[in-house]
Structure 1
Amino acid sequence: MAQEMLQASKMKLVFDYGVDEDNQPIHKTKTFNRIRLNAPADQLYQAATAIGSLSTQPLWNIERNDTYQIGE
């Protein structure tokens, strides 16, 4: 039976930069690598909002991207 093993975790902050001339939203991201694998969502949210508060642009979204190795 195959199993998955968490290898890496990244946190991506998405900032809102308004809209372009075609009225399409402009979002820019900042990715933080090497996030602690067992970090709960509450801690990531607190860290992301603290980092986001340092920006002049509003924080639009917070994402977590996990990478798994699948094997036996």
Structure 2
Amino acid sequence: MATALLLGTKLRLVFEAGMDDEGNPLYKAKTFSNVKKEATVDQLYQAAHAISVLCKDTLNKVERNDSTEILA
């Protein structure tokens, strides 16, 4: 039976950075590495919003990216 080993977690914040010439939104992202693997969804959400207060752009999306190794 295969098992999964969580190697690392990253937090990615996507900001709305304005509009292009056609009126479509432009996005930019900032990724934070070395996030504690044990961090809960609520903790990551609170951290993302605390960081977004320091930014001029509007927070659009918060993503958690986990890296997992599958072992046989």
Q: TM-score, normalised by structure 1?
A: 0.95
| Deviation of 1:35 (Å) | 0.4
Unaligned runs of at least 5 residues, structure 2: none
Determine the structure 2 residue equivalent to 1:25: 25
Determine the structure 1 residue equivalent to 2:5: 5
The whole-number CA distance in structure 1 between the counterparts of 2:42 and 2:15 is: 20
The whole-number CA distance in structure 2 between the counterparts of 1:3 and 1:69 is: 8
Aligned-residue CA RMSD (Å): 0.7
Percent identity over the alignment is: 43
Q: How many residues align?
A: 72
Give 1 or 2: higher strand fraction.
Answer: 2
| Deviation of 1:14 (Å) | 0.5
Unaligned runs of at least 5 residues, structure 1: none
Superposition pairs of residues 1-72 of structure 1, within 5 angstroms = 1-72=1-72
1:55 match: secondary structure: coil
1:13 partner letter = L
Moved over 6 A (4+): none
